[in-house]
Amino acid sequence: MSGGRDAILLLHGLYGNPLEMQYIGRKLQRAGYAVEIPYIHGCGVADTRSPRQTTPWENWLEQVEAHFRNMQCTYEHVSVAGLCIGADLALALALEHSANIHALCLYSTTLYYDGWNVSRWRFLRALAYYTPLRYMLFYHERHPYGLKDERIRQWVAKQMEKGVETPAGAARSPFTGVYQAERMMRHLRRNLHRITAPTLILHALEDDFASPRSADLVESRVSSPTVRKVILQDSYHIITLDNDKERVAQETLDFMAAQDGKSSQTLALAA
């Protein structure tokens, strides 16, 4: 998506696709930003056909870093935003490039799989992670598919039944990808203090995959001079598509615009 001197890199989630970020991207583009929403190979929806198509998370980050560097060559200011594991990748990028990130916008950051719809047997995942089972097992998406909006949820459910690619990502996720995601989460939890980029944290109170605990951890650990956390009241995990998507877009626009000449501050808001 074309735009002006300011740009934003939008990152999809685990076994997702750029459609997850398209609504937000269009809003940003209309406001004058150049927008890039790359497909991340090795953790995208097309990589669910075989567990062995999943690559280590470090490879995902290399792709993100390449896109970021290319954008730096073209635009004066580059911001980075991501959903779920895309937010984690944005954090991982910020560990090395905080000084060059104009704004860091985190949607449904996932540093723990502890949402209310995550299986109570989740602690047994480690048995699969460190054995050949991780190449055989899949996590199957289930109701409510990260969506509180009933209309969108019903449409996504029907599309997944048909095996059609949806904005909510894949109908099933290989354990290989979940394993790599948790490797990245551990790395981030140990190193959040190294992040100094201005940070916006948007998270749903009722997130079904990752509770607000992840958002709270980012807020408390990053060393950013400007941090804003917004807890959304009318969405589940995929806040870029759900009932609060307008709020997500507006908060992102406001935060990026506010970075020029802003003084250090920490804000928290319950929407």
State pLDDT tens for residues 97-141.
Answer: 999 999 999 999 999 999 999 876 556 666 666 666 666 566 777
- With contact defined as beta carbons under 8 Å apart, do 4 and 30 qualify? no
Q: Which tokens go with 43? A: 């953790």
Say what the pLDDT of residue 262 is: 41
Residues 180/185/186/187 CA torsion (nearest 10 deg): 90
Query: How far, in Å, CA of 239 to CA of 234, rounded?
Result: 9
Say what the pLDDT of residue 124 is: 60
State pLDDT tens for residues 207-221.
Answer: 999 999 999 999 999
Residues 6+ apart with CB under 8 A from 160: 141, 145, 166, 168, 171
Given the candidates 2.30.38.10, 3.40.50.1000, 3.40.50.970, 3.40.50.1820, the CATH classification of the domain at 6-270 is 3.40.50.1820
Query: Quick one: DSSP state of residue 155?
Result: H
pLDDT of residue 267 exceeding 50: no
Mean of the pLDDT values across residues 229-248? 98
Q: Is 79 helix (H, G, I), strand (E, B) or coil?
A: strand
State pLDDT tens for residues 156-196.
Answer: 888 887 766 777 777 777 888 989 999 999 999 999 999 99
Nearest to 47 by CA among 82, 20, 17, 87: 17
State pLDDT tens for residues 247-258.
Answer: 999 999 999 999
Q: Within 13 Å, how many C-alpha atoms sit on residue 55's CB side? A: 12
The single residue listed with the structure tokens 């354990």 is: 175
Domain boundaries, the chain: 6-270
